Structure 1
């Protein structure tokens, strides 16, 4: 078998594999060397002797283009950062494309004693530079020793307070935050600030007035009570947290105005009930239309009028008499007088017509004819 070509290919791949990490490592070393060889940011000032309240021009070179720089006068060589600097009179400038900037600031008295410096920092990034200066009228003091940050423990955090009657109906809820802290170190802790805030959604960002703190001796424990007032008609879970010095704490409470919720639900039910009653009443009082079953219709008895037109009544009775009837039902007469549809049965109306209609003038022949008709009518009644 001829294995020359595959063997050579495998050998080349095996030898080329380790070369990739080696090349990457060489690139990282070259980049680090280039960064080390790059010029560091520098600053300069027109005069290194400054007078409080007088302007001083600060220039810089080799700064990251587009970065924002802040220049300020600091004491104690700015060993503790901005805590030693006069941040109230700091000046801000934008670095040009060539890495330079120029800014004028007003020299002020820093919170720490000299030796003093002008400190420039860049954002974003961690570039910084400082230059020693003399500040007229300021005495020098030994540099402070940078002691380790003190430690403090939050032993207990609790929110107390039950909802009252007013809170159940939307009043502002009140809670009491209890914070217990302890100093586990061997040195006393100064008056560390107590910061408390509340908020929704797990974020406490609305500040709350907290009491002033006192020195905390080594191994001592102290409890602080903070009154927290939430907004009116608060609903849901609220977070209450803060910090005591370097230690942080948090707690939460649930607020639900059940009285207000119940009142709203009952009001909605009453509104729906009132709408239903009004709709039912309107349906019952609407006029009956043709085709509506009698069981669904509202029957109203006709009310006869107090006055009846005599001419209309005579016409009605005369028409009923023409049909050959001798009597007329009372309800038929009432329906006619009340304006209801007339009935077809009008028997006996002829007698009522004779009673109500005025007598007609008679002739001699008519009287004899009437007398001859009486026996005939009597015989017909007997036959019946």
Structure 2
């Protein structure tokens, strides 16, 4: 007698299964992110003046990437010399979509260094990975890569930090200065002598401006060393900056730097805007007073005649002429007396 009760349960299960199958197509099927980000170019070789499409997958969604065409680089060794070997003015920025992919058009220009060339893709915000794809610029000279560090390989052992503080002159627009301090270790099999580091400062989404800093010393295999590199911004700089350091074409560390606004300069311009108009106003009033004094005629002052003859000083009465006593009143007073 209980078998008929199982039919509603079977019907309910079938209905739920059908609803689940109906809802499956509405769920977006995003591909799983790759373990490492990848970069691909539409053409392996193109002449100067052309254009290629650079795409990639496996990147972090929403990350901002900088795409550059660089010389003296290979996918294995990276870009020797850092972004100084790249055509920075013709670079392009790309934003990773929710699927972890991106695509951008890149003009083919002559990089400042000879080939072998690569398309250099580096994360600016959200992801700091760097991937290089081989590319050949038609008609551009080719030269072997320089041997920079041999088998030595430097790596950062502790987090980089900026030391120092701003002085009073920085408050009035002097260039802000800091010292980038980091500890590196040699993970290779050969010593690294007098390594040259590229210290870059970037503001916003612009590509970093790299400067070479040579550290005097030798880092033996398996040893570590404390590196101190001076960093200086331009006069009047303020806002959010990023300080990066790289060696042998590989990014070692990156540190944010928030630079305060030089309020002394603002105060100077405010005072200048108040003092100069006030001074001009006072000068104008003085000139107006002088011009008005020249145009006015002098008013003659009546001088009473000398009653007692020349050589005597006339004394003005203290009363008004209308209120002076008459002669009749004086005679009457004498008669009564």
Same fold (TM over 0.5): no
TM-score (norm 1): 0.35
Which structure has greater helix proportion?
A: 1
Bigger relative contact order, structure 1 or 2, given CA contacts below 8 A and separation 6+? 2
Structure whose CA Rg is larger: 1
Which structure has greater strand proportion?
A: 2
TM-score (norm 2): 0.38
